[in-house]
Structure 1
């Protein structure tokens, strides 16, 4: 596989977060407590979880030597039983605009730290320690699929760039054959849909690349 065909960087993180915010900004302000797609979380909780992912990814690179066998010892909590356990929560009184502002801030923070981190730096993730490019790809996947979840719950359209979907598939899902639309294939690879001749997955994972 040509590395250039699967390269993902901090600008891709900025881009996908901006696209997600554009897609979500026109949502019905009263719709955010609906379930997010096939998840058990609400749309609000799912976007908080996404912001939390981006923030905690970024925090790893605030250290000269990030841990490679455990996450940082943040205290996490849930707003309700069954809700996501987060570090980041958004003040409900700020409404959807506040939620989108926090998402943009966390995405910008991650993009900024990834753009300055040495490519050889490795940090922990449950799917395997990886470097800045791996975390950029993981952040893009998280943003793509969780925006899908939320737009399903909010009855909005979400159709991300196919070339970006193909790059993160090649970077993190090298075991997946891309013989169908890249976006639909990514949704299948993350357990969200079935494809012709491929039943929906009940378990899935990506494979984080080591730093270069």
Structure 2
């Protein structure tokens, strides 16, 4: 997801609306939203500019305190020019931002990265162009790839449908989708990022997980050139959960990014959501070049602390091979202890834990 998609989305918006440039947009409601088409177009431009401003300004706790105002007497042609300009500003901000840059956005974790700002900008353009086109009686449908990008970057909690554009319209309360209930309220979902001492635990989005599963780099630069096989396997499980509609982003997979140089050194994540007893399982791995430096302990401690701070998690568990002494030491340093005989028996009989594994527990 880059500024190129922002440019493509804005181009499609302007091309569509230009067909009605001689109409009075202030007298036409934009589809199902409460605004007229003029206000809606201005809103899109304001969002594009605000996203660009927050990203380049490295906003931390609130939007950069400025606002946009049209000159008196600006007509529809001028408003389209403003859309093109603010789209270009966001595209440039995204394309020049560093990979690890994050800035303020309120939902849901109070920050977004450059890909998130690009995706939010594209979402604003696509959805509100649909609204305005609907009000003005114009035909509009974006490229399927744009809609799919928005879904895989901002709607990881939404099961993919047969086609991306109708699915995005349904997910935002703008249409129906066979076999699914009507959507009355919605929010998009930027990825979760958890800071540690020398690492950042960066939540994987479905698009990145899919790329990892297929042998790509997931958009990261890896120490040693490629992720460890366990990370690819975990990404594959995440993609399956996303495609089945059961993926929950808070309990997904995270890439371990080293703060000093931005290199990815491993992966960590959950094996699913908490069960009815508040128990959740965690797993991790490192590329060989990063082992023996305390990164696994640091990541495990950070993610376990985050999980146990939630009301729905009471116990974090991990399994490890009986002969894997280094991983057992990692668990011990992160505050885990070996489960007792009864707990291991229950894990084997009720949860299918392999007999060659040992169970470690934190909390509970």
TM-score, length basis structure 2: 0.50
Contact 2:56 2:97 in 1 (8 A): no
Alignment pair present for 1:131 and 2:123: no
Give the SS at the match of 2:165: helix
How far has the Cα of 1:67 moved from its partner? 2.6
The structure that has the greater radius of gyration is: 2
Superposed CA offset, 1:24-65 (max 9, x none)? 1011523412100001100000000000000010111332xx
How far has the Cα of 1:92 moved from its partner? 5.4
Aligned to 2:176: 194
Seen in structure 2, the aligned counterparts of structure 1 residues 199 and 90 have a Cα distance that, compared at 3 Å, is farther
How far has the Cα of 1:192 moved from its partner? 1.3
Determine which of 34, 40, 46 is the counterpart of 1:46. Answer: 40
Higher relative contact order (CA closer than 8 Å, sequence separation 6+): 1
Alignment pair present for 1:71 and 2:71: no
Name the structure with the higher helix share: 1
Seen in structure 2, the aligned counterparts of structure 1 residues 9 and 143 have a Cα distance that, compared at 3 Å, is same
Distance 1:98 1:108 in 2: 15
Contact 1:31 1:154 in 2 (8 A): no
Alignment pair present for 1:117 and 2:97: yes
> What does residue range 1-212 of structure 1 map to in structure 2 within 5 Å?
8-27=1-20, 29-33=22-26, 34-63=28-57, 66-74=58-66, 87-91=67-71, 93-127=73-107, 128=109, 129-209=111-191, 210=193
CA-based RMSD of the aligned residues comes to 1.5
Distance 1:32 1:90 in 2: 15
How far has the Cα of 1:191 moved from its partner? 1.5
How far has the Cα of 1:208 moved from its partner? 0.7
Contact 1:29 1:95 in 2 (8 A): no
Contact 2:55 2:102 in 1 (8 A): no
Deviates more, 1:136-145 or 1:171-180: 171-180
How far has the Cα of 1:107 moved from its partner? 0.4
Distance 1:17 1:106 in 2: 9
Name the structure with the higher strand share: 2
Distance 1:22 1:121 in 2: 32
Deviates more, 1:187-196 or 1:132-141: 187-196
Extract unaligned runs of 5+ from structure 2.
194-201, 203-219, 221-364
How far has the Cα of 1:200 moved from its partner? 2.5
Seen in structure 2, the aligned counterparts of structure 1 residues 73 and 28 have a Cα distance that, compared at 3 Å, is closer
Give the SS at the match of 1:29: coil
Aligned to 1:81: none
Seen in structure 2, the aligned counterparts of structure 1 residues 62 and 179 have a Cα distance that, compared at 3 Å, is closer
Q: How many residue pairs were aligned?
A: 191
TM-score, length basis structure 1: 0.85
Superposed CA offset, 1:131-163 (max 9, x none)? 111100111111100100110111101110111
Contact 1:48 1:88 in 2 (8 A): no
How far has the Cα of 1:182 moved from its partner? 0.7
